[in-house]
Amino acid sequence: MKKSIICILLIFALVLSGCSSSDDEKDNTGTPATESVDTVDNETKQETNTPVKDDTDTGAQTTVADKKTGFSLSVSGSDKKLKISRAANAGKRMGDDGVWTIFVYLCGTDLESSGQGSATSDVAQMLESEGSDNVRFVIQTGGTSEWENEMFTVGKAERYLVQNGDINLVDSVELTNMGDAETLASFLKWGVSNYASEKMGLVFWDHGGGSITGVCVDELFNCDTLYLSEINSALSSVFSDMTDKFEFIGFDCCLMGTAETANILTTYARYMYGSQETEPGSGWNYTAISDYLASNPSADGAALGKVVADSFYDECKECEQENECTLTIVDLSKFDNFLVEFNDYASRLYEACQNTDSLGAIVRCINKAENFGGNNKSEGYTNMVDIGGIVEACADYAEPGNVLSALKGCISYNKNGSNHKNASGLSVYYPLQVQGSNELKVFSGIAISPYYISIADMVANGYTDNGYSNEVFFTDDGDWSNYDCGNDYFDDDYFDYADEESDGESNLITFEQVPYVDEDGMYCFKLDDNGLEWAVSVSAMIALDIDGETFVVLGETADVNGDWETGEFYDGFDGYWYSLPDGNLLSAYLVAYSDDGERAIYTSPVTVNGESTNLRFCVDASGNIEIEGTWDGIDDNGMAAREIKKLKDGDIIVPIYYLEDDSEFEGDEYEWEDGDEIIRASLPEGDYYYSFFVDDAYGDYYSSDYVVFNIDENGEITFSDDGSMGLDGDYGYGDYDYDDYDDEEYYY
């Protein structure tokens, strides 16, 4: 309801404004930027531009501007210490005291064209705020095939000034790709030239996908996106026209609260605002931002950041998505200290990984760290993992040193919901499941430590012996720089190994006793020393035959009992499963669970009103189930869907199941009613199928043959060797009858 009202208000405001152009464009009052370098280690290194280079993937030529950079990271092989050089300017204000200008790079995409009108709503919030001569928003539009208002034009790149409750068109230029560095640079150069002020902020508004895929999907230009390297290039280009840093650079989009992002922004801004997790479509509260600055024009980026985070949490709460909320305010003046400490830590962790007796255990630890943006088969992978969680999880193998205190020192403020109460504030790329070689190429160009690149390379490539070498990332003298890794210093095909798909037959998972049914009717196995070294997790898949011919997987359960010291594991399935109120079973997969076991998040592939999506729900230790809503997951461009949509009365839900060949099977329709809940009920009496899944340290897995287990009339479960089969075998048992489902046997 709030969204609808705001959209109506915006359209009304646009009509009143007359859509007129404004002559109120200010001259730049500052002096030209002076180029100098500020280094952590007090060494001076002049900023350089990279040469023009042909892009071998596309045949297009990249310009010098595309490769411009405002900083360099380097490590000497002699001492392994990280040295940081950053461009600097005069630190002189560029406009009148007490005036704030916030530039908004408004890439509408499907957040507008799908009918949500999320961008339109946020502009309406700017218009609803208190009028003030001290606060103005300067917007560039683009990236969408349709706007949900009568003012913005699809075929133009338009620039608007929002101030004192009015919106005015102040410039209109040729439509260009918002996923291109030149478009961003052009907007910002024009903006700081005409609307410079004492304090300036920059907001990227759209979808985000994390460190690898970046932000701002332009659906008018083949869904091109802004990579972090392109953001760096654009900011470096405009920085030479500035005499001061941006007070903040923020991301009103998903998953951009990362260490790689903060590293790039440290040159150009005092503070970074970003979320580790996905954001709802409502995003930030621009009325709260504007009202605060109107009353507190002298506020700095830290004070404003707290308002942004708190009001964002309130926005999430209003749409019942506060549990997933994360927003971090990073003091970038302290970030380089963290970089130095993290490189030292990564060096120690890399040395620990060189001992293959420890590598499997280290990867197991990292896999327990909190991750963001899905990272499962149903929803897709972002490979964004909590950086503080990695350090804490691996403390037994690499001394944390000062890295955690340095991390806390640069986090000015963060606001986390209950599902992420232990999140440290920043994520980092880690190859949970690599989606191809290009992912690793991009990562190598934005990584913050050569030793962390080496760890990621070991994991992604699946090294199992002591033969790994990271020499490819270093010069002959043993030195490393981000310039080299970002400019194809090593062979372009080095990461091609990542294009090979996992086959589900990991040769690292080996057994002292292969899976079998013991005399007590328990399904169990025992890993040998090698298997125990490389196994990182054990789960199980539950399946059924619905018509005598169609074998479908119900999903994943963590109900496996085991001992990681002895390598002995056995089934712990209790015979309960998740379903819709009519007993229509859901295919459920574990997304995340808290270390204390108090809360788990599941996702279930479904269609809602004919559209494919994922139904997310949380389960606490008492069995209480809370429905979060539907989330579309990660798209083909690596971008996370922003909107978690609540189920509403009349929605038609159809469960989706995966078949043995990875194709899909649709269940029966169910019409959702207000007050409905997902239930966890005992499966009816009958035969089912069970398979162990053992993940190895490198993303491959072992899957056992499915064996039959029976649930009797008392709910007792017994496994049997009779009827055991492989995925391609004869399933040999009867139909599943939903009428047998006892919908009274459930708990909340």
Mean pLDDT of 594-612: 83
Q: Rounded to whole angstroms, how far apart are CA atoms 653 and 42?
A: 61
Among candidate residues 408, 420, 412, the one with its CA nearest the CA of residue 371 = 420
* Other CB atoms within 10 Å distance of the CB of residue 264: 25
**Same domain for 155 and 183?**
yes
Backbone conformation region of residue 142, classed left if phi is above 0, alpha if psi is from -120 to 50, else beta: left
Can you read off the two tokens belonging to residue 292? 């605060």
The verdict on residue 18 lying in a domain is yes
Q: Rounded to whole angstroms, how far apart are CA atoms 702 and 217?
A: 37
Q: Rounded to whole angstroms, how far apart are CA atoms 503 and 727?
A: 14
Which residue type occupies 605? P
**131-185 pLDDT per residue, tens:** 899 999 999 999 999 999 999 999 999 999 999 999 999 999 999 999 999 999 9
3-state secondary structure of 455: helix
Burial of 48 (0-12, 13-18, 19+ CB in 10 A): exposed
**Same domain for 139 and 231?**
yes
How many domains, the chain? 4
**Same domain for 299 and 375?**
no
User: Using 50, 70 and 90 to split pLDDT, how confident is the model at 547?
Assistant: confident
Check residue 42 and give its pLDDT: 34
Range of the domain at 548: 501-575+683-748
Check residue 107 and give its pLDDT: 98
Q: Rounded to whole angstroms, how far apart are CA atoms 599 and 22?
A: 54
Are the beta carbons of 616 and 321 closer than 8 angstroms?
no
Q: Which of 677, 694, 721 is the last residue of a domain?
A: 677
**Same domain for 123 and 199?**
yes
**Same domain for 435 and 568?**
no
**430-456 pLDDT per residue, tens:** 999 898 999 999 999 999 999 999 999
Q: For the chain, how many helices (H) and strands (E)?
A: 16, 40
**Residue 9 scores a pLDDT above 90:** no
Mean pLDDT of 106-121: 93
Q: Which of 313, 335, 357 is the last residue of a domain?
A: 335
Q: Rounded to whole angstroms, how far apart are CA atoms 238 and 193?
A: 10
**465-524 pLDDT per residue, tens:** 777 899 999 998 889 998 777 665 556 789 998 988 766 688 899 999 999 999 888 899
| Residue 204's CATH number | 3.40.50.11970
Are the beta carbons of 415 and 325 closer than 8 angstroms?
yes
Are the beta carbons of 667 and 585 closer than 8 angstroms?
yes
Taken in order 544, 545, 546, 551, the sign of the CA dihedral is: positive
Residues contacting residue 31 through CB under 8 Å, at least 6 positions apart: 90, 92, 243
Give me the half-sphere count of Cα atoms (radius 13 Å) on the Cβ side of residue 579.
24
**Residue 548 scores a pLDDT above 60:** yes
3-state secondary structure 393-404: HCCCCCCCCCHH
**Same domain for 164 and 271?**
yes
Q: Rounded to whole angstroms, how far apart are CA atoms 327 and 308?
A: 9
Mean pLDDT of 38-63: 35
The verdict on residue 75 lying in a domain is no
**Same domain for 494 and 516?**
no
Q: Rounded to whole angstroms, how far apart are CA atoms 319 and 237?
A: 39
Place of tokens 């640079």: 185
Predicted TM-score (pTM) of this structure: 0.81
Give me the half-sphere count of Cα atoms (radius 13 Å) on the Cβ side of residue 295.
10
For the ranges 261-275, 508-522, 686-700, the lowest mean pLDDT is seen at: 686-700
Q: Which of 622, 652, 677 is the last residue of a domain?
A: 677
How many angstroms from the chain centroid is the CA of residue 623? 28
Among candidate residues 136, 152, 155, the one with its CA nearest the CA of residue 95 = 136
The verdict on residue 349 lying in a domain is yes
The verdict on residue 402 lying in a domain is yes
Check residue 470 and give its pLDDT: 92
Among candidate residues 503, 510, 511, 577, the one with its CA nearest the CA of residue 540 = 577
**328-357 pLDDT per residue, tens:** 999 999 999 999 999 999 999 999 999 878
| Residue 543's CATH number | 2.60.40
The verdict on residue 235 lying in a domain is yes
The 8-class DSSP code of residue 49 comes to: P
**Same domain for 291 and 372?**
no
The verdict on residue 123 lying in a domain is yes
**Same domain for 513 and 527?**
yes
**180-216 pLDDT per residue, tens:** 999 999 999 999 999 999 999 999 999 999 999 999 9
The verdict on residue 421 lying in a domain is no
**Same domain for 152 and 238?**
yes
Check residue 664 and give its pLDDT: 87
**Same domain for 310 and 387?**
no
3-state helix, strand, coil in the chain (%, to 5): 25, 30, 40
State which H helix or E strand residue 202 sits in: strand 199-205
**Residue 409 scores a pLDDT above 60:** yes
Higher per-residue confidence, 62 vs 588: 588
| Phi, psi angles (nearest 5°) of residue 451 | -75, -30
The verdict on residue 80 lying in a domain is no
**Same domain for 592 and 477?**
no
